[in-house]
Amino acid sequence: MATSVVNSCDLTDFTSLPHPHLLASSASVTSAPDTFVHVHHPEAGALKFNSTFLPHMHMMDMRWNTTNDLELIDSTPSDNIHINFQLSGCMYSRFQGLKHDLDMRPGKHNLIYTPEIGHINQLKGNQSMAMFLISLDKHFFTSLIGQNDHWSEQLTSDLYSERACSAIAGTQTITPQMLYLIEDIRNCSVQGPMRNLLIQSRVLELLALEIQQFTTSPLSDEALRPDEAEKLHKLRTYLEANFLSELSLAQLSRVCLLNEFKVKKGFRQLFGTTVFSYVRKLRMDYASRLLRNYNVSIDDVADKLGYEHAQHFSIAFKKYVGITPSQYQQGKASGAARPNNCAEHATYQEDR
């Protein structure tokens, strides 16, 4: 398949939609979650965007079904901080001024500042991409992070010197807590003045989680060989299709053709969570969907997840979500349930 070369302004140059990297100079504007601007480009495919503008920030929910292999050249100047949460699909990006490229895969995020123009994004054809993009005023951003450690001092220095920089050399993993906040923003149904307050608070909480991850994680993707990373990505796909099955490290080692040590350490290094914590996330998210969308009993859900006793399921569910399954069912319409912040750090005995 031939690669099409497209300038970004050809995709976003119309009055109802500003460039995703630019901030609004006027009052706050928010869109309903189902209000999308649709665009079709003969070579790039079908795109739809939903933008939310608040003071010092711009959020964009972007969905993109590509047609051809694409090389997207971005020639729009910007003096803002840019964050990309890659929810699905893949994109490989080269930025002017950055020494490293960014290989954006599903479940990854980054934070960059690139004042120079001429960025190149490479996208595969025939894929469905979903990205949640945030742009922040750099002065607002620096006022939030302060200068209390080497990471924030270096980043602030780069920003005020207008040097291209990134939070880390590579990408980090979107945690369940981050994903919950993103979905809460994307699907916020609250109307009126409270909508802006709720969205702004979610964005700031999301930013806090991201910065905490950047400043505390000693691990990076670069420590894994490309072939090992590819095998672990395939293992994650296997887990997503078989999370209700009985699983063991020995079995998973055979599935991805890596030894058990590499499965344990490499999976955590690449995805920011242990194998069995990820399995637990998949199971509890599945349980949440059943309780939220279907008229099923707690006993039935516990049985589907393989629990011998419903009480054991209830304990595990509360540890992950923060409330019991019955409380979750009663309050599902309000959207009040949220994953417990401690869930990401818990591990099964087999994964230690």
Residue spans per domain, the chain: 3-216, 223-351
Which amino acid does the sequence have at 147? Q
Highest CATH level, class, for 223-351: mainly alpha
**Predicted local distance difference test score (pLDDT) of residue 58:** 93
**Predicted local distance difference test score (pLDDT) of residue 236:** 92
Q: From CA 185, how far away is CA 201, in angstroms rounded?
A: 10
**Predicted local distance difference test score (pLDDT) of residue 5:** 63
Distances (CA, A) of 329 to 15, 295, 332, 341: 43, 10, 5, 20
**Predicted local distance difference test score (pLDDT) of residue 10:** 59
**Predicted local distance difference test score (pLDDT) of residue 351:** 47
Q: From CA 8, how far away is CA 186, in angstroms rounded?
A: 23
**Predicted local distance difference test score (pLDDT) of residue 241:** 92
Contact 77, 131 (CB under 8 A): no
3-state DSSP helix/strand/coil percent for the chain, to nearest 5?
A: 45, 25, 35
Answer yes or no: same fold for 3-216 and 223-351: no
Provide the residue-wise pLDDT of the chain in tens; the chain has 352 residues.
566 666 666 555 433 445 666 666 544 555 665 678 888 888 888 889 888 899 999 999 999 999 889 888 887 888 999 999 999 999 999 988 888 888 999 999 999 999 988 889 899 999 999 999 999 999 999 999 988 778 888 899 999 999 999 998 889 999 888 998 999 999 888 888 888 899 999 999 999 999 988 887 554 444 577 788 889 999 999 999 999 999 999 999 999 999 888 898 888 888 878 899 899 889 888 888 888 888 888 898 888 888 888 888 888 888 888 888 888 877 754 444 444 444 343 334 344 4
**Phi, psi (rounded to 5 degrees) for 69:** -60, 140
Residue that is written with structure tokens 């972007």 in the block: 62
Enter the CATH code of domain 3-216. 2.60.120.10
